[in-house]
Amino acid sequence: MLAANALADRLGVTTPVLLVIEERVRANIARMAAKAAAAGVRLRPHAKTHQSLTVARWCREAGVDSLTVSSLGMAAAFAADGWNDITVAVPFSPREAGAVRELAGRMRLGLLADHPAVAAAAADCGARVWLKIDVGYGRAGVRWDDAPALTALALAVPSPGPAGILTHAGQSYAARGRAEVLAVHAAQSARMAAAHDTVAAALGRPVFVSIGDTPTCRTADAFPGIDELRPGNFVYYDRMQFAAGICGESELAAFVLCPVVGVHDGGRRLVLHAGAVHLSKERDGAGYGCLVEWDDPAPGRLRPDLPLVSLSQELAVVADGDGGTCLRPGDAVLVAPVHSCLAADLLPGGVTSTGRRLASAGLR
Amino acid sequence: MLAANALADRLGVTTPVLLVIEERVRANIARMAAKAAAAGVRLRPHAKTHQSLTVARWCREAGVDSLTVSSLGMAAAFAADGWNDITVAVPFSPREAGAVRELAGRMRLGLLADHPAVAAAAADCGARVWLKIDVGYGRAGVRWDDAPALTALALAVPSPGPAGILTHAGQSYAARGRAEVLAVHAAQSARMAAAHDTVAAALGRPVFVSIGDTPTCRTADAFPGIDELRPGNFVYYDRMQFAAGICGESELAAFVLCPVVGVHDGGRRLVLHAGAVHLSKERDGAGYGCLVEWDDPAPGRLRPDLPLVSLSQELAVVADGDGGTCLRPGDAVLVAPVHSCLAADLLPGGVTSTGRRLASAGLR
């Protein structure tokens, strides 16, 4: 059913919260860990999706011993919780040299570089330097086929040289369905192999190869030439991944539980206390997310027929074509966010359906 | 010039921060306060834009003695800083009755209602109840011309009855230029007058009338029939307001100061450490914001020719058609955000160009 009032009452929910389905998160982690183990590659999951000490501990319980993060603040927060092998998977920012020196002195800290001077500066701070490769996404990184630039970058890292080469094939998020995702995977595998050969020739030794987007890691079964996977979104997935055919409905593991604060136009327009400051303004073709049924003790069907059609700072409008929901102000409902990473960033921590509060890394 | 390195060095900026231009904020506040005083209406500025104790104090220094906020958490934070007349301008959420009771017992707390049962519940918690009117935005509120529903809502509030009627003509944000905004203002004025007459007839007395969007409050010079203005965005304005012709370039008062972390494709593609978790995914036709020059000690020209064309969780890509910026990794630049309210929510506090840290209300 749509109204999740008993759940909201049990959890004491008065304002929007991130509802995390623990069994689904653990199953998502176990599935990815098993795949990595079967393929003989390291799983270094990206913690930016959840920013949660609790979810990272669930990863550790599944055998994970290294993390990826997207800021030095996150690296410090997870290091304080016992993680000592962390890659910060954004290009090293020279203005953060001081913080890097402090952290690199007490843990195995990896940084990314795509510019020779930046690579040298990162190494000078005591970090392990990964060479960031652009396999077609066109954001950061040196192109896989730019051999002179790759060679210069590899040689800019002082002894013992780079930790490896690393990419994020972000173009996989625009792929639809298994075949398109596998085509991205084939291209990134071939391009990383080419980049590897260039770097290996420059250094006179092979290097470690790391890839890291959820669509290809979830969809592919084989990872020849790859040594490490860094998916992040797979712990929660979201409406975007579901719509793209990457995950099943029963793998969706994070929702926003929020109050209904208005019912208008004969029930055809519902107003939720859930806005851009809770869900983010990430949207897909259908809107800013949709309602989800709650069949205690688990989420039920997604309701794409009840989309969030507009979103202001604190409020969402849900369109109900036939006004049949019978919801009232004071009810609580579940929303499937379009992009779970951004909703989790905005609603730090979260709570499981049994009332367990997740420990946030504390960045917000 | 584009590189704001000396500013970033002086402020010790290593990660994205909200840069607030104090003189501009104070001028924006003074201009709106003078307009309200000349029109004989109360100014109850909306603090959700800045969520800053410091900026609220600047409002107080300009003669403001009441605030609007968008959550009970904000109301509590500003109450703790000495504000004792606050309207929470979102529909009262019955699940927050406990928090309302606690707050209403020690201050003048206004709440909104657009449903008779909700209005009665809000009054029962000790709050002053504003009747929320929909003057055409189509989000929350009772339509201005639905006399039976307005009458029922007005009569649902026990003695001494409603505090007044209140609207947010959010459609003004889609208006372009002075004439279109003034047309929205004329429509909202006429519709609020009609709603007022219906409610006054039901109660046998006139009621207070409150309006509150920045475009009409900034653009209109006369407010006949209006008793209160609740603009919020006017303290900072942003690229959206500037593009719509609401404010001048020299009124833009909040920017995001952030590091450059990549320069690619011969300088035609810049990568900034500034992503969806700093700027929000609010976009306009040109992208997620644009670069701004820094002419110490003040911001210089907006550079719409240097737009943020894509945005991921932590990184932005700036397109530079001719690769002429000569920026390098380690430089710092200013971004004009599309929507300052969301950027300020994501980057709490902020810092002035002279290094004064703004006190956040502490919600993030």
For position B286, what pLDDT does the model report?
Answer: 87
Chain B residues in contact with A312 (beta carbon < 8 A): 139, 170
Residue A38 distance to chain B (closest CA, Å): 30
Q: List the single best residue of A71, A311, A313, A346 to mutate versus B (max B Cβ within 10 A).
A: A313
**CA nearest B232: which of B17, B20, B22, B29?**
B29
In this complex, do A276 and B282 lie within 8 Å of one another by their Cβ atoms? Answer: yes
Q: What is the pLDDT of residue A341?
A: 98
Gap from A354 CA to chain B (nearest CA, Å): 20
| Distance from C-alpha of B69 to C-alpha of B73, rounded to nearest angstrom | 9
**Alpha-carbon span A51 to A344, nearest angstrom:** 8
Pairing of strands B332-336, B290-295: antiparallel
For residue A251, pLDDT beyond 90: yes
Which one of A261, A268, A345 would you mutate to disrupt binding with B, by most B Cβ within 10 Å of its Cβ? A261
Under 8 Å between Cβ of A115 and B329: yes
- Give the model confidence (pLDDT) of A147-182 as tens digits: 999 999 999 999 999 999 999 999 999 999 999 999
Rounded Cα gap, residues A58 and A30, in angstroms: 9
Residue A280: which of B13, B115, B281 has the nearest Cβ?
Answer: B281
- The rounded distance, in Å, linking the Cα atoms of B173 and A358 is 38
What is the per-residue pLDDT for B261?
97
- Partner residue opposite A341 with nearest CB, options B93, B118, B313: B313
- Residue A363's pLDDT is 76
Compute and round to an integer the Cα radius of gyration of chain B.
22
Peptide bond into A45 cis (omega under 30): no
Chain A partners within 8 Å of B263 (Cβ): 115
- State the Cα–Cα distance between residues A54 and A48, nearest whole angstrom: 13
Tens digits of residue pLDDT in A294-304: 999 999 999 99
The bridge status of strand B228-229 relative to strand B42-43 is parallel
DSSP secondary structure string for all residues of B138-183: -SSSEETT-HHHHHHHHHHSPTT--SEEEE--GGGGG--HHHHHHH
The answer, yes or no, to whether residue A218 has pLDDT greater than 80, is: yes
Taking 70 as the pLDDT cut, the residues of chain B under it are 364
Smallest Cα–Cα separation from B46: which of A164, A360, A312? Answer: A312
The predicted pLDDT at position A286 comes to 87
Average of per-residue pLDDT across A343-358: 96
Please tell me the distance from the alpha carbon of residue B37 to that of residue B83, in angstroms, as a whole number.
20
Cα gap B233→B218, rounded to integer Å: 10
Percent with pLDDT over 70 in chain A: 100
Average pLDDT over residues A269-281: 98
Distance of alpha carbon A167 from alpha carbon A208, whole angstroms? 12
Contact B329 A117 (CB under 8 A): yes
CA–CA separation, A14 and B14 (whole Å): 36
CA distance A187 to chain B (A): 21
- From B87, B90, B329, select the one nearest A90 (Cα to Cα): B329
The verdict on a CB contact (< 8 Å) between B329 and A91 is yes
| CA–CA dist B149, B31 (Å, integer) | 38
- Measured over all CA atoms, what is the biggest interatomic distance in chain A, rounded to whole angstroms? 72
A349 against A300, higher pLDDT: A300
Model pLDDT, residue B61? 98
Q: Are B275 and B314 in contact (CB under 8 A)?
A: yes
CB contact under 8 A, B259 and A332: no
- What CA–CA distances, in Å, run from A191 to A119, A195, A228? 21, 6, 16
B306-342 exposure pattern, b = at least 16 Cβ within 10 A, e = fewer: bbbebbbbbbbbbbbeeeebebbbbbbbbbbbbbbbb
Q: Out of B118, B269, B277, whose CB is closest to A345?
A: B277
Helix residue spans in chain B (DSSP H): 5-11, 22-39, 53-61, 72-79, 97-104, 116-124, 147-156, 177-203, 214-219, 239-243, 276-279, 340-346
Task: Quote the pLDDT of residue A364.
Answer: 63
Residue A161 to residue B77: CA distance in whole angstroms:
51
Q: Is residue B45 within 8 Å of B232, Cβ to Cβ?
A: yes
Distance from CA of B38 to the nearest CA of A (A): 30
pLDDT at B364: 63
Say how far apart CA A64 and CA A59 lie, in whole Å.
5
Q: Tens digits of per-residue pLDDT, A16-73?
A: 999 999 999 999 999 999 999 999 999 999 999 999 999 999 999 999 999 999 999 9
Q: What pLDDT is attached to residue B363?
A: 76
Q: E strand or H helix at A166, and its extent?
A: strand A164-167
The one-letter amino acid code at A63 reads G
Query: What length is written for chain B?
Result: 364
pTM of the predicted protein model: 0.97
**Other beta carbons less than 10 A from residue B62's beta carbon:** 18
Question: DSSP strand E in A67-143: where?
Answer: 67-69, 85-91, 108-113, 128-134, 142-143
Which residues of chain B make contact with A93, given a CB cutoff of 8 A? 14-15, 259, 261, 273, 329-330
Residue A45 near residue A70, CB atoms below 8 Å: no
Average of per-residue pLDDT across A74-88: 97
CB contact (8 A) between residue B261 and residue A92:
yes
Chain B partners within 8 Å of A332 (Cβ) = 95
Tell which of A95, A258, A265, A327 to mutate to test the B interface (max B CBs under 10 Å): A95
Considering only CB atoms, which chain A residues are within 8 Å of B139? 271, 310, 312, 315, 317
In sequence order, the β-bridge partners of residue B303 are B291
pLDDT at A362: 79
Residues whose CB is less than 8 angstroms from the CB of residue B206 and which lie 6 or more positions away in sequence, other chains included: B196, B200
Q: How far apart are CA A53 and CA A342, in angstroms?
A: 17
Partner residue opposite A14 with nearest CB, options B96, B271, B345: B96
Residue A15 — very low, low, confident or very high, per pLDDT cuts 50/70/90? very high
Cβ–Cβ under 8 Å, residues A290 and A302: yes
Whether residue B342 contacts residue B256, with contact meaning beta carbons closer than 8 Å, is answered with: no
| Cα–Cα distance for residue pair A164/A312, rounded to 1 Å | 44
Yes or no: say if B258 and B278 are a contact pair by the CB < 8 Å rule. yes
Residue A48 and residue A70 in contact, taking contact as beta carbons nearer than 8 Å: yes
What is the token pair recorded at A178? Answer: 């298994």
For tokens 């793209």, name the residue. A244
Among A14, A139, A282, beta carbon nearest to B281: A282
* Radius of gyration (C-alpha) of chain A in whole angstroms: 22
What is the C-alpha to C-alpha distance for residues A90 and B173, in angstroms, rounded to an integer? 35
pLDDT of residue B41: 98
Three-state SS at B14: coil
The reported pLDDT for the residue numbered B362 is 79
